Amino acid sequence: MSHTLSRLDFLKTGSLALGAGLTALSGLKPATSASSRPGKAKNIIFLVSDGMSSGTLALADLMKREQFGQTTNWIQLYESKRNFHRGLMDMATLDSTVADSAAAASSWGCGKRINNGALNWGPNAEQHKPIAAIFRDAGKGTGLVTSTRITHATPSGFAINMPSRNQEDEIATQYSERNYDVLLGGGDRHFNPDKRSDNRDLYTTFRSKGYNVVTTKNALSEAPPTGKLLGIFNDSHLPYMVDFNSDAQLQAVTPTLAEMTKSALNRLNSHDNGFILQVEGGRVDHAAHANDAASLVYDQIAFDEAVGVVLDFVDGRDDTLVILTTDHGNANPGLGGRGSGYRESPKLFESLQNYRKSLEWVYEEMGYNWQGPALENVSAAKVREVVEYAAHTQITRDEADMIKESFEWNLRVPFQDRMAPGAVISGVLANYNGVYFIGTNHTADYVEIAAIGPGSDRIPYFVRNTDIFELMVEMADVRAYSTE
Ligand SMILES: [Zn+2]
């Protein structure tokens, strides 16, 4: 309560001292230079690596240096002389300090803290106009790009009103009614009449509204360079990069996040009034839940390639605010010190370069579903074969037995959140790759946020999630469209 009061006091003081506008409504810094005057950001590009603990940012950068001799684009920004902001963000939601992606994205999408699981939908069924709709009504271009289903929580948090993120058929229907310009990701199951519960053919609906609809990488590159575009490239999420990198067939049909980002930017850049684009590296979160170190690292690197596309796009222009962040920590992985003087760690970590498959693939090979039920009579030899193939790593008989027992849910673990077979496999593999996770769920960590372009200088070093919404509508001068 005292926190709330002092915040209100601050806001009152702010509005008295500084007049109307941004600083009156939020905790953002006042404009300190001509370059950050409201309205200066014609375009907004918002990049989210979903569920990226700070350890994930470091692991991807360590791997990129080791394997490719380059720092990640994200860390390169920090090493550069460009004018950028860097700080921490408090991602708490209305009902928890640990955010889920729906409420987290909604905090940026509508400027309100709502309950976990909801999309721009308050606890009393209030519907808050999401930022993509605000930009659309202001005559700006709108785009969402993700490696998850396009109906998943993070893109939806910028674009959709729904009581539950799980209503993905309804979310797809709402997309078809909202006239956003570019939607690229996975999720055929929610557009295809053979897969939807109501058998509606949403592709036909989109086409009748003037969208080009594409489902392959080639069709994406051959689509007309202007006009509305729906690109759905998989039944569910796009593949993990570890699986993608080892599968020529997937590479032939599936665009990367960077390719989708480039395509979206080319299109949106033709809007005279500017645009908003959200880009999500969504499977970083899934890899963290799964405790899949190789997938985590390579999906974060793929996200970082999209960061590179965006940083190139804004190079030399001063009309685009870029925000680079994550919605919450997840499972907080890290490379631990191993061996005498910790000297074994770098070598162990390097072994991730040889991984051939994700843990999702391991589950499929074992015939195990993400949420169970437990398997019966698992063969330890089979476990060994599958895990050793995926990780290119020899494990011991004892370790294979532990994994077998975890598939059978017949294993004692001290922390229940690590009872998933994936957590047990990753614990075994940590003996060989050095990367360990604290659990299988999101965490309350304050998250990394970086920004560049007009308005980035207004972000405090420690910022509340909802203030980023205020920043975006103010810098793009679209507040007039923020109510229906
Ligand atoms: Zn998650």
Q: Does the pLDDT of residue 200 top 60, yes or no?
A: yes
Q: Higher-confidence residue: 254 or 420?
A: 254
Ligand 1 centre to CA of 464 (Å) is 20
Q: Tell me what pLDDT residue 17 has.
A: 36
Q: Does the pLDDT of residue 23 top 50, yes or no?
A: no
Q: Does the pLDDT of residue 453 top 80, yes or no?
A: yes
Ligand 1 centre to CA of 98 (Å) is 11
Q: Tell me what pLDDT residue 464 has.
A: 98
Catalytic: 2? no
The pTM (predicted TM-score) of the whole model is: 0.94
What is the mean pLDDT of the segment spanning 424-436?
98
Ligand 1 centre to CA of 359 (Å) is 16
Q: Higher-confidence residue: 327 or 9?
A: 327
Give residue 37's pLDDT band: very low, low, confident or very high (50, 70, 90): confident
Ligand 1 centre to CA of 148 (Å) is 11
Q: Tell me what pLDDT residue 35 has.
A: 64
- Selecting among 53, 101, 263, 358, the annotated active-site residue is 101
Q: What is the mean pLDDT of the chain?
A: 93
Give residue 29's pLDDT band: very low, low, confident or very high (50, 70, 90): confident
pLDDT of 140-189, one tens digit each?
999 999 999 999 999 999 999 999 999 999 999 999 999 999 999 999 99
Multiple choice CATH, 27-332+456-481, 3.40.50.2300, 3.30.70.20, 3.30.1490.20, 3.40.720.10: 3.40.720.10
Ligand 1 centre to CA of 251 (Å) is 25
What is the mean pLDDT of the segment spanning 192-203?
98
pLDDT of 124-145, one tens digit each?
999 999 999 999 999 999 999 9
Q: Tell me what pLDDT residue 278 has.
A: 98
Question: Any idea where the domains of the chain sit in the sequence?
Answer: 27-332+456-481, 342-436
User: Please, what's the largest Cα pairwise distance for the chain?
Assistant: 72
Ligand 1 centre to CA of 24 (Å) is 34
- Strand-pair partners of 229: 182, 212
Ligand 1 centre to CA of 183 (Å) is 21
| % of the chain surpassing 90 pLDDT | 90
Ligand 1 centre to CA of 181 (Å) is 27
Ligand 1 centre to CA of 4 (Å) is 29
pLDDT of 283-309, one tens digit each?
999 999 999 999 999 999 999 999 999
